[in-house]
Every structure is written in structure tokens, then in C-alpha cells.
Structure 1
Amino acid sequence: MDEDELRDFLPTSFGGSGGGFDPEAQIEAARRKVPGAVKTLKPAKSTSSKDENSSDDDSDDDDDDEDDFPTSHEIVFKTHNRPITTITVDPSGSRMITGSTDCTIKLHDFATMTPNTLRAFKSVDPSATKPATNSETHPVHIAKFNPNSPSQVLVISATPQARILSRDGETKVEFVKGDMYLRDMNMTKGHISEITCGTWHPTNYDLCVTAGTDSTLRVWDVNMRMKQKDVIVHKSKLAGSAGRSRMTAVAWGSQVDGGNNLLVAAALDGTILMWGGEGPYTRPSGEINNAHTPNTWTSGIDISADGRLVVTRGGDDTIKLWDTRKFKQPVNTTTHTSTSSQYPTSNIQFAPNSSSIITGSESGDLYILNPATLKPELATPITPGSSLITVLWHEKLDQILTGSANAETHVLFSPKNPPNTKKGGALMIMSKAPKRHHVDDDPTLTTDMSQGVSGDAIINPGTSSESIQGRSTFSSRHPTIGLTASGKSRDPRRPHIPATTPFSKNAPDEKSIRERIPLSSMREEDPREALLKYADKAKNDPLFTNAWKETQPKTIYAELSDEDEDVKEPKKKKVKF
């Protein structure tokens, strides 16, 4: 066989890489088909001169408009069951974490996913640290990767205690809860009521801040979980004698040219406050009363990259832009329908270079606003008819991630990445060949282990189906909490149901006992009478001694004498002295 014949005989590729896979065609298949996308702030096209190349020019202009923002393609994750409240991606762009009102966070690894395996590799309930004893679960408000230490994730649920998780979902730090009976909030060691939001220090990887409904901001050191580092108490002027107002949003940003950091927060009384990020926090350096309508939830707040602008999204259907150097009146204001009354974590965010502002809408559209005029440069539908709750524009990936009320996570991207960006995230996934069909890909033939083993799937010997069905309601609500090894329910509110038998259900009659239980008629029979029934048969037809029946000698017993009959008691032994 010559060399050409050998080359024709051998396969050209092995494994899943063969089959003529075309990554460009697969990426093109992810192109969004959005009719009626609104684009503004673009110069009008001249129609005075028309030539044979006019159609080509129009198509080129459309492509230029499309490439302005990474919204031409998208992939969709459906890993939650309820609205998505928060999205975070580590600084390198390799791992994504989403939180939801279904009380779980989902961990996704872009490097291990393919176009037909868009699923989370782990599901964690951050509020249930002890599943065996703690059956309470709470919606997740915020999950944020540490920008300076990607191995730490700040997770805030609807509890007074914030938690620091590892990038694999393991709880590393759980901050302490304060004493709710102390009136002075400066004396408590932690929050005494629900935390609403939180964020990381922009440069110090050990510090984070949380805002709660107890009218305080608390700065935490991850190495000191038993007490906060600093307490900032907001004394509201509109809350009467109590002086408390819920803190609804907080942002921590750095200023240009290495200036002091800024800490900005919003309260339910409509106030916006600003402090120096490094303290002291005794008095705010800037305070704006009635910045938004009192008793409306200002859910979104963010600081620009240079630290000069602050944007807020209020519950009064407005978006306002503030200048930190003249922190008195808004620079600009625009009308935007709020969703904070239903989804308190609806956010607003500056683009990585602060050239744009992104936010969602009640109708499910993504709005990209001009930071100078707050007018939309792009309004494109993501989940029509379902509110867009959270948005994120990642700097390294140059991709926009959105979370909606219909439990969908959309990752928008463009195959033409600008310089200094990483070709990862959704672009990495769509560049891979689809995973070949395997039996594990069929959910009807496999068990989903992302939530652990459910109690409904455990059948213990000696446990009837009725007792298992009795626990199914609790197991369906808490899939990570099922039955113990002995078959007892982990639910502390439900007593243990013993194994049932035919005698414990009711008092059956004699007929049903005789029909269902073998040899049940022998329960009340005298054993001696039962044996005497076989006395004559054993004497006339012996079963074991029949072989020597003819040769067996007759048994002769000794006859008792008269003396023996008179002896009533046995003779006693003589006692030796």
C-alpha cells in the first residue's frame, strides 16, 4: 500500500472534533432576530443622491449600527424556576453566578459548556447553612464577585446575615446578626433586620459594605465575622421620632487619578447620601433630601469609572444623573417606568468605560442610554412581556448579561470583539462543537443531582408508600432536605410516622384475618391440644421408629414394693461433723 492509499484509508480526525464542524455558522445561528429595534441619536442618512451602490451603503451602515453595542447575538440560560434577581461574573469572565427568588444561586462555568449543554454545574441555597436543622429558605437579593479576589463571592439573601462564598459555592464566612433589642444601632454587632443590598470595596479585597432595613450601612472585614468594622447610621428627617428609614441601594466607587473612594447610598425616604469611601463616616459629605419621591424604592445606583457621576433609578419612574462635585441638583432627569415595587433589585449600571448606561424595563426591553442626555441610544426587546430585572456589562468579555422575571438569563454578545477584550463567555460556548448525544442528556433516564437527592426518591426498607407520600410536600419545597438514613423526615415540624402494618390501620374481622394472614387460625389454639391430636397417629404409625417396630423389645418397668410405696420422702443425707 503506497502513501496515498494509506492516507485515504486512515480517518482524518478522531472524537468529537470531526464531522466538518463550522464554528462561524454556529455563531451566526445565534444571531438575534429582533424586528423593530429602536435606534436613536444616529445621523440621518442622505437620500438626495442615489446610485447603483446605495443598497450596499445601507447594509454597511446597518452593520456599523449593530457593531456599536454587543447585542447582535445571544444565548439563553434557563436554569432557574423563578425571576432572576442578580447576575455576577468573575473578573476573568470564566464563571457566572445567578441568583433568584427561588432561593438558590446557580453556578455556571463557560469553559465546560457547549451550545446544547447550557446548564449550571451546581445549585446552592446560601441561606440554608445547616440543612438538617434549618428548613428556612430566603430569596437571593445580591451576588457579587470580589473584583480584587475572584475566589470570594458576596451573597445577600433576605436575612440579617450576609455571607461570603467561594467560587464553588461553599460558605466561607457568615457575618454575625445584631441584637434586635438594642435601640442604638451603633451598639449592635451586625444588622438586626433584612439586608437589601451590598457591594465590595473597589481596591481593598478584604472590605465590603451591606445596607439593611435597619437604617444602617455596615462595613465588614472578611477576616472579622463577629463584628462589623464600621457602622453608618442614617437618621432620616422624614421618619419622625424613630429616625429610621430603609436603605435601598449602595455603591462603592473610586475616583479618577487615584483619588479618594466614594460611598453612595439611597434610602426609602428619598434621600441620597455620599461619604468618603475610606471614612470617617460620622457625617455624610453630601446629602440630598427628596432626591426621589419619599416612600418609593430607589433600587438602582452606580458610580462612573472616573467617580464624577452618579446615576440613580428611583421608584418614582425617573432616572437621574448627579455630579459628585456639585451634589445638590441632578444634572439630568428622564422618565423611565420603575419595576422596583415588584422587584426591589432592579438595577442600573454604567458601561465599563462609562460611555453608556444600561438598564432594563417593565416591558422586557434593554435600554442603553447616553450618559450626557439620558436618551436611549438603543432599545431592544429581550423578554417581551416579562420585566427585565438585572443587567450587567462585563468589561473583559464586552458582553451584556440580563436576568428577567420569566427566569431566563440572556447573554448578548458580538462575534467582532473590540481590542483588549477576552474571547470567552458566550462566544467561547458558541465556538465549540455541540456535545454528542448521550444517555445522560435525557432527563427522563437520569437523575438531576444539582439539587441533591430528593426525599421522594428514597425508599427505605420497612417504610410504606403512605409515609413517603406524606413527606412529599415538604421534600418538593426543599429538594435538598429529604429523609435520614433511618427513614425519618428531616422536617422538624412533622412527627415521625412509624411503619404501617395490616394490624395498625383498623380492626379487621375474623374472616379478613383468615384470608389475608396465613396460619392465622393457630393464634388462639392450645399448643397441648394441638399435639395430642397426633398422639394416636404417632403410636399406630410411627414415622421415625417404624423400621425397628417388629424387633423392638417390649418395655418392662420395675414394679414398686410396699416399702417403696410407703416411703413418702427421700432419705436425707447424714450430716458429717
Structure 2
Amino acid sequence: MDASLQAFRSLQPCECHQIKSLQYSSTGDVILVVSGNSQAKVLDRDGFPVMECIKGDQYIVDMTNTKGHTAMLNSGCWHPKIKEEFLTCSNDGTVRTWDVNNEKKHKSVFKPRSVQGKRVIPTTCTYSRDGKLIAAGCQDGSIQIWDRNMSVHTKFHCRQAHAPGTDTSCLTFSYDGTVLASRGGDDTLKMWDIRQFKMPLNTAERLPSFFPMTDCCFSPDDKILVTGTSVKKGGGSGKLFFFYRETFEKLYEIEVTDASVVRCLWHPKLNQIMVGTGNGLAKVYYDPVKSQRGAKLCVVKTKRKERQAETLTQDYIITPHALPMFREPRQRSTRKQLEKDRLDPMKSHKPEPPVAGPGRGGRVGTHGGTLSSYIVKNIALDKTDDSNPREAILRHAKEAEENPYWVAPAYAKTQPKTVFAEVEPEDDETDKPEWKKRKI
């Protein structure tokens, strides 16, 4: 990628469905695509499909008995250690883990429940940094965490983490694995110690969020927490807010653009912040000293100039001792040579003209080589003896009467005289009843 930042390929993997989440696997060789339909897809790094999750049976009541999701997906992510495993959550009220090598069935199912034991919809899901825990934020405001190998009962649970009825848009674990940050649809950012999960460690308020996928993430050194804010059209600029993890004091804020900040990612190895906004921009923030590779590689590359097709001419080879018949005249001007090449049918790739008359050498003639065109040309348009059509029809009648060959000999004994039906005069039709009269 050069300074123009043009994509080398663009594709539409999920038809018209909105893409909710994209993530490279831990090894970077495949991409997880979570869209608005019920089937997550895995693509390789060139954009070609690797697997597609199976769709479940929507008429089964118990979601553990069906093989896949039956409603719209909300989020998904890769396992941090096992490169073949990933996680999805859906509006059917389940969180499922999958194996890339087995698209026929999920690996395990987790079903979040409300206080009354009813089904609730998970809006976001994530793995812990060591991959042993699975966390889900739900529409009733709760955060539920399971052991990856124990899918029935939750290991940690907070019922009133955020306001009920709001979509918790993001959960993320710190790099040391003890702290969980949650971005709520109630315009708050909270930080939790999962060992004491009843009360949040810190809370930041008045951070507007209009999107069900607004992110929050930790810095690579685990000291800073960053999130984006949403704005209405004409209501100012979307911002990135940076908070100290220990004290939750606001460290810094960046005005990104005059639209909402939807997604943000602080890459741990590149040490760069990628931001996606509501007006279609994707911005990358980097430090010239502390960042590595990534955007720094693109900035130093100059944009390639496209070579014009008109300047591509054949190289002139000088052969001083060639025989006169093989000697090429010395080129005076590129323009004159291009004009000459244009007139040369071989060099200008002039198409061959159509074949006149009947086809030859496997090529179709001008009138076409099909049977219908042959009939039209040779039979239907045959204008011989067109002066009197009655004579043309009856030209063999006399010969057939004198020397019958086909039909007449069969009736010679039984029907020596030909009897024709007599045509009644039209005047008699007046005496006939209505139903016998001929319709005109």
C-alpha cells in the first residue's frame, strides 16, 4: 500500500447485509465476517471464502438442540490462543463457539438468562486474554461471564451493570486479564474487577453512543483506556477520549471528524490507533517514534505514476552489418512511427473483415451459417416462376391425372370416379335455423 491508501481488492461477502464486525485471526491468515444475517463467514486474506457457519432450525424452541444461529448476528471475535476457534452472539439469545474446520455444527452454546430465568439477547461478546473465559453483554443491562468449558452456569455475573433495555456495545479485557471494561448504551464507560463483580471500579459518564458497536480498548501498556463518542448531524465533532486506567481521569481528547466515531482499535504490536467514523472515513493515528510498521510503511511510499499507453513503443535495435533486406530504417520520430503502426493491420490488431459469400475455413459467411438462414436464402426467397402462382401450384396436376402413381391406384377399384362435395348456393341459408347458419 502506498500513500494513496487505495485498497487492492474490494468485495461484498454478505450481499446486502450490514457488516457488524471484522477481525483477523491471531495468526492473521483468515478474517471473521459477522454480518446482519444469521451465518458468520470466514475469508482468507485475499477475500476468498474459507467457511460459512450453518443456519439453525428456527422452529426448535431449545436453542441448544439446533446446529447454528437462527436470527441476526450481533458480534463475534477470534480465540486469542486457538487459531481455529471463534465466537458469535445472536438475537436468538445464544452465544456459540465454532471451529473453522467444522462448518456443520457449533462447538458449544452459552445461553444468557435474566433474573427471572428468561432468555435475553446478547449484544456483544468477547474472550478473555488467555481464552479461558467468555463474556457477553446483554440487553437487560447485565454482563455474564462463563468458563469456556462450563457452558451452563455463569462463573461471574453482574445484573445491573448498565441501564436495562440499553445495548452494551463493547466488552474488552485488560492485557493482565483481571479488569473488564464495558461501553454501555446508557452513555457510560465502566471498568470492573471480575473478582469483585458487584460494583464498578470506575465510571465515566456523558459519553454519547448511538451505535450498537461503539468500541472501547486498552493501550498496549495497559495504562490507558480509549473510547469514541457519537454526535447527531450538525451537532459538533465525534471525539476520542483517553482515560487513565487507575484513576479514570481524562487524559486527552481528539476531535476526529464532524461525524460520530463508531469503531476504534489500538493495535498492540503496531502501536497505532485505527478509527472508523459515521461519514465513511477511516483514520489512523500513529507516533513517528513509538509506532512500528503499519501506516508508517504507507506514508513513505510515493504514489506510482501510471505509464501512458501512447509512450510504449518498440525498442529500436541497431544492427550496422545487417543485409539490406533485414535492415530497419532509423526512427526519426515516435509520433510518425505510431502513425505507421496504426496503419499496419498486424501491429494495430485490426480485426479481420467478415467473409463474403459462403463460409470457409470454419468461419461463418455474411448471410449466416445456420439452417434457417440457408432456407431463407435458397428456398423461401426463391423467386422462380412467380408470375402466376396458380400455374405454379397446378403445374404437375395434368401429369398426375394422366399417369397416377401415389394415391390414385389405391382407389382405382373401389372409387373409379372421383366424387366431390357439392357446394350449396348461399341463398338457401335464409331457410336454415340460426344454429345451422355459417358464422361469418
Q: Does 1:359 align with 2:230?
A: no
Deviation at 1:374, TM superposition (A): 2.4
Q: Does 1:114 align with 2:13?
A: no
Match for residue 273 of structure 1? 144
**Partners of 1:197 and 1:570 in 2: how far apart?**
93
Match for residue 171 of structure 1? 49
Letter of the aligned partner of 1:354 in structure 2? D
Q: Does 1:304 align with 2:183?
A: no
**Partners of 1:436 and 1:527 in 2: how far apart?**
72
Q: After superposition, give the CA deviation of every residue in 1:26-70 in whole Å (9 maximum; x if it has no partner).
A: xxxxxxxxxxxxxxxxxxxxxxxxxxxxxxxxxxxxxxxxxxxxx
Letter of the aligned partner of 2:287 in structure 1? S
Q: Does 1:251 align with 2:126?
A: yes
Deviation at 1:529, TM superposition (A): 4.4
Letter of the aligned partner of 1:434 in structure 2? K
Deviation at 1:439, TM superposition (A): 5.4
Secondary structure at the aligned position of 1:122 is classed as coil
Q: Where do residues 278-427 of structure 1 align in structure 2 (5 Å cutoff)?
A: 278-340=148-210, 343-362=211-230, 363-383=237-257, 385-417=258-290, 422=292, 424-427=293-296
**Partners of 2:159 and 2:384 in 1: how far apart?**
95
Q: Where do residues 473-488 of structure 1 align in structure 2 (5 Å cutoff)?
A: none
The 8 Å contact of residues 223 and 246 in structure 2, kept in 1 or not, is answered as no
Secondary structure at the aligned position of 1:430 is classed as helix
Q: Which runs of 4+ in 1 moved over 6 A?
A: none
Deviation at 1:188, TM superposition (A): 0.9
Structure 1 residues 438 and 192: CA distance shift in structure 2, 3 A: same
**Partners of 1:387 and 1:569 in 2: how far apart?**
101
Unaligned 5+ residue runs, structure 2? 231-236, 310-380, 390-400, 406-440
The 8 Å contact of residues 351 and 357 in structure 1, kept in 2 or not, is answered as yes
Larger radius of gyration: 2
Higher relative contact order (CA 8 A, sep 6+): 1
The 8 Å contact of residues 165 and 171 in structure 1, kept in 2 or not, is answered as yes
Q: After superposition, give the CA deviation of every residue in 1:414-446 in whole Å (9 maximum; x if it has no partner).
A: 2112xxx63x22111111233235559xxxxxx
Letter of the aligned partner of 1:430 in structure 2? V
**Partners of 1:377 and 1:311 in 2: how far apart?**
17
The 8 Å contact of residues 2 and 299 in structure 2, kept in 1 or not, is answered as yes
Over aligned residue pairs, what C-alpha RMSD do you find? 2.6
Secondary structure at the aligned position of 2:17 is classed as coil
The 8 Å contact of residues 126 and 157 in structure 1, kept in 2 or not, is answered as no
**Partners of 1:386 and 1:321 in 2: how far apart?**
26
Deviation at 1:530, TM superposition (A): 9.1
Q: Where do residues 419-458 of structure 1 align in structure 2 (5 Å cutoff)?
A: 422=292, 424-436=293-305, 438=307
Secondary structure at the aligned position of 1:429 is classed as helix
Q: Does 1:124 align with 2:3?
A: no
**Partners of 2:268 and 2:13 in 1: how far apart?**
27
The 8 Å contact of residues 262 and 307 in structure 1, kept in 2 or not, is answered as no
Deviation at 1:245, TM superposition (A): 1.8
The 8 Å contact of residues 185 and 212 in structure 2, kept in 1 or not, is answered as no
Match for residue 235 of structure 1? 113
Letter of the aligned partner of 2:121 in structure 1? R
Deviation at 1:307, TM superposition (A): 0.6
Structure 1 residues 530 and 400: CA distance shift in structure 2, 3 A: farther
Match for residue 138 of structure 1? 17
Structure 1 residues 234 and 438: CA distance shift in structure 2, 3 A: same
Structure 1 residues 571 and 291: CA distance shift in structure 2, 3 A: closer
The 8 Å contact of residues 367 and 376 in structure 1, kept in 2 or not, is answered as yes
Match for residue 219 of structure 1? 97
Deviation at 1:335, TM superposition (A): 0.4
Deviation at 1:237, TM superposition (A): 2.7
The 8 Å contact of residues 314 and 338 in structure 1, kept in 2 or not, is answered as no
Greater shift in the superposed pair: 246-255 or 221-230: 246-255
Deviation at 1:172, TM superposition (A): 0.4
Deviation at 1:211, TM superposition (A): 0.7
**Partners of 2:275 and 2:97 in 1: how far apart?**
28
Letter of the aligned partner of 2:244 in structure 1? N
> TM-score, structure 1 length as denominator?
0.52
Q: After superposition, give the CA deviation of every residue in 1:178-217 in whole Å (9 maximum; x if it has no partner).
A: 1000000110101110110011111111211101111110
Q: After superposition, give the CA deviation of every residue in 1:265-297 in whole Å (9 maximum; x if it has no partner).
A: 100011101112x31121001111121111111
Secondary structure at the aligned position of 1:250 is classed as strand
Letter of the aligned partner of 2:140 in structure 1? D
Q: Where do residues 511-530 of structure 1 align in structure 2 (5 Å cutoff)?
A: 528-529=386-387
Match for residue 195 of structure 1? 73
Unaligned 5+ residue runs, structure 1? 1-112, 129-136, 441-522, 532-567, 573-577
Letter of the aligned partner of 1:377 in structure 2? L
Q: After superposition, give the CA deviation of every residue in 1:109-150 in whole Å (9 maximum; x if it has no partner).
A: xxxx222x321111111114xxxxxxxx10100010111x21
Letter of the aligned partner of 2:272 in structure 1? Q
> TM-score, structure 2 length as denominator?
0.68
Deviation at 1:344, TM superposition (A): 1.4
The 8 Å contact of residues 299 and 345 in structure 1, kept in 2 or not, is answered as yes
**Partners of 2:87 and 2:169 in 1: how far apart?**
16
